[in-house]
Amino acid sequence: MATPTAPAIGASKEAIQSHYDLSNEFYHLWLDPQTRCYSAALFEPEDDFITAQQRKVDYHITQAASQGAANVLDIGCGWGGTLESLVRKHDVQHAVGLTLSDAQKLYIDTLGLPGVDVRVENWQDHQPSSRYDSIISVGAFEHFANLDQTVEQKVAGYRAFFQRCHGWLVEGGRISLQTITYENSTREDFSPFFANEIFPESDLPRMFEIIQAADGLFEVERLRNDRMHYYLTQKAWWQALKRNKQIICERFGQAVYDRYNLYLQMCMVGFKTGSMGLVRITFKRIDRPAQGLR
């Protein structure tokens, strides 16, 4: 099932690896040990952190209608938490995970997940052999644009993503998407620390940019803004980082600890004050887009 290769959009492989390939061991010292998710959990009042992270994974699988599916795509698969749940808990026959992190792929390969194919590959270069029943993408959309792009260029890049997903999905197929957004802020309001030290070559979307990019290709079935869930997630990560300060400093250096300590605290402030949002959107494929909207 060949699709044309799109021009490079968003963060490069090198930029992604500068953050995510620091060390699998480092991230596993402060992410939750069950899902290993590096994205916002979904909390109910009685939940502990691990339960909330698994709830988030199950939410996206349910929203995408992935249970029992023959073929599912996970764009930005991280350390494999969603892939593992798809094939071991939700009876998915075959799941493909895309990541730009060599370290993440190496880790997932050690899990021995049946029916899972992980590729170090940009979504723009992905050439599936058959259509997908559903697509899940959690915490990847933040890397689909960069700080040098205008709003028009960002929307065009996002549009290319949704066009590609539309071509990959079966009729009536769904995408369950989760991403951080700019809320009561602009890119100019953000400290250069994020672009220089944490996520180079990446720029957050605004809500209208996502919806505009999907217009005519997908209908929005559900939308949640759960920014306080990300505040709670960042707080849990920060507390785990502090608990493991000694081992992190010994193995990775004081500078790494200080950088992530500042990063997590700044994110907590951003989500608590509403500078940043956290949206979860369920999209359903429009099978016959109107002329001029394809």
Query: For 173-224, how does the pLDDT look when each residue is reduced to its tens digit (9 = 90+)?
Result: 999 999 999 998 877 777 677 777 777 778 999 999 999 999 999 999 999 9
Rounded to whole angstroms, the Cα distance separating 228 from 234 reads 10
Q: Do β-strands 71-75 and 132-138 pair in parallel, antiparallel, or remain unpaired? A: parallel
DSSP label at 144?
S
Whole-structure pTM value: 0.93
Residue 144 tokens read as 């689909």
DSSP 179-243: EEEE-S--GGGS-HHIIIII-TT--PPBHHHHHHHHTTTEEEEEEEE-HHHHHHHHHHHHHHHHH
Q: Name the nearest CA neighbour of 22 among 251, 267, 274.
A: 251
Q: What is the mean pLDDT of the chain?
A: 92
Q: What is the pLDDT of residues 258-281, one digit of tens each?
A: 999 999 999 999 999 999 999 999
Helix (H, G, I), strand (E, B) or coil at 281: strand
CA distances from 84 to 108, 117, 189 (A): 9, 11, 38
Rounded to whole angstroms, the Cα distance separating 125 from 75 reads 12
Q: What is the pLDDT of residues 91-127, one digit of tens each?
A: 999 999 999 999 999 999 999 999 999 999 999 999 9
Active site residue ranges:
267
Per-residue pLDDT, 56: 98
Q: Name the nearest CA neighbour of 144 among 167, 163, 171, 117.
A: 163
Architecture of domain 13-285: 3-Layer(aba) Sandwich (3.40)
| pLDDT value at 24 more than 70 | yes
- The domain ranges of the chain are 13-285
Q: Do β-strands 169-182 and 276-285 pair in parallel, antiparallel, or remain unpaired? A: antiparallel
Q: What percent of the chain has pLDDT over 90?
A: 81
Rounded to whole angstroms, the Cα distance separating 290 from 292 reads 6
Q: How confident is the model at residue 62 (pLDDT cuts 50, 70, 90)?
A: very high
